[in-house]
Amino acid sequence: MSAILADSGVTFSGVGKYLTTGSNWWGIDGLLVHIRDHVIYAAIIVLAAALIALPVGLIVGHTGRGVVAVVGVANALRAVPTLGLIVLLYVWLAPKIPVNHGNVLFLHRGGVPTFIAVVIVLILLAVPPILTNTYAGIQAVDPAVRDAARGMGMRGSQVLRRVELPCALPLIISGLRNATLQVIATLTVAAYVPGLGGLGRYIADGAEQAPAQGDPPMLSAAILVALLAVVVDGLLNLVQRLVVSPGVSGRYSSKHTSQPGVTTAPLVEAQLTVA
Amino acid sequence: MIRFENVGKAYEDGTLAVDDLSLEAPSGQITVFVGPSGCGKTTSLRMINRMIDPTHGRIWLDDRDTASINPSQLRRGIGYVIQHAGLFPHRTVLDNVATVPMLLGTDRRTARANALELLERVGLPATFAKRYPAQLSGGQQQRVGVARALAADPPVMLMDEPFSAVDPVVREQLQNEFLRLQSELGKTIAFVTHDIDEAIKLGDKVAVMRVGGKLAQFAAPAELLSRPADAFVAGFVGRDRGYRALGFAAAGSLPLSDEAAVTLGQTLRAARDVAQDGWALVVDADAKPQGWLALGGLADSALEGTVTPDLLNLGGTLATEAGTLREALDAALSSPSGRGVVVRDDGRFAGTITAAQVLGRIESRAADIRADTVQAANLGGQA
A270: nearest CA in chain B?
B113
Q: CA B308 to CA B223: how far, in whole Å?
A: 46
- Which of A202-206, B79-83, B198-202 shows the lowest mean pLDDT across its residues? A202-206
**CB contacts, 8 Å: A253 with chain B:** none
pLDDT at B383 over 70: no
Residues of A in contact with B113 (CB under 8 A): 271-272, 275
CB–CB of A260 and B128 under 8 A? yes
pLDDT above 70: residue A105: no
Is there a contact between A257 and B74 if contact means CB atoms under 8 Å apart? no
Residues of B in contact with A267 (CB under 8 A): 130
Mean pLDDT, residues A112-138 taken together: 92
What is the predicted pLDDT for the residue at A1? 46
Q: Is the pLDDT of residue A78 over 60?
A: yes
Inter-chain residue contact B90 with A150, CB threshold 8 Å:
no
Within 10 A of A85 (CB to CB), how many other CB atoms are there? Answer: 17
Q: What's residue B272's pLDDT?
A: 85
Q: How far is A179 from chain B (nearest CA, A)?
A: 25
B contact test, residue of A138, A141, A146, A152 with most B CBs within 10 A: A152
Identify the pLDDT of residue A248: 93
pLDDT for B1 beyond 50: yes
In the predicted structure, residue A109 carries a pLDDT above the cut 90: no
CB contact under 8 A, A245 and B90: yes
pLDDT digits (tens, 9 = 90+) for A156-206: 999 999 999 999 999 999 999 999 999 999 999 888 887 788 888 888 877
Cβ of B100 within 8 Å of Cβ of A153? The answer is yes
Substitution target from A268, A272, A273, A274 for chain B, most B beta carbons within 10 A: A268
Mean pLDDT of B264-282: 88
Contacts B92 to A, Cβ<8 Å: 247
Percentage of chain B beyond pLDDT 90 is: 68
Q: What is the pLDDT of residue A210?
A: 59
Is omega for the bond preceding A211 within 30 degrees of 0, making it cis? yes
- In the predicted model, what is the mean pLDDT of chain A? 82
B230 pLDDT band (50/70/90 cuts)? very high
Contact A264 B76 (CB under 8 A): no
H helices present in chain A, as ranges:
2-6, 8-19, 31-63, 67-78, 82-93, 112-139, 143-151, 156-158, 165-190, 200-209, 215-243, 246-249, 255-258, 265-274
Q: Which of A:178-237 have CB within 8 Å of B? A: none
CA closest to B119 among chain A residues: A268
pTM of the model: 0.80
Question: What is the crossing angle of helices A165-190 and A82-93, to 10°?
Answer: 70
Residue B68 has pLDDT above 80, yes or no: yes
- Whether the CB of A156 is below 8 Å from some CB of chain B: the reply is no
Whether residue B13 is predicted with pLDDT greater than 80 in this model: the reply is yes
Q: How confident is the model at residue B252 (pLDDT cuts 50, 70, 90)?
A: confident
The pLDDT score that the predictor gives to residue B382 is: 61
A268: confidence class by pLDDT, cuts 50, 70, 90:
very low
Give dist(CA A190, CA A200) in Å, integer. Answer: 7
**In b/e form, how buried is each residue of B106-120, taking b as 16+ CB within 10 angstroms?**
beeeebbbbbbebbe
Percent of chain B with pLDDT over 70: 98
What residues are paired with B31 via a beta bridge?
A: B190, B205
Q: What is the mean pLDDT of residues A53-65?
A: 94
Is the ipTM of this structure higher than 0.85? no
CA distance A58 to chain B (A): 18
Q: E strands, B275-354, where?
A: 279-283, 289-294, 318-320, 339-343, 349-354
**pLDDT-based confidence at A269, cuts 50/70/90?**
very low
Question: Which of A238-247, B216-225, B360-369 is predicted least confidently?
Answer: B360-369
Which of A151, A247, A271 is opposite residue B112, by nearest beta carbon? Answer: A271
Supply the mean pLDDT for chain B.
91
**Option in A144, A247, A274 nearest B132 (CB):** A247
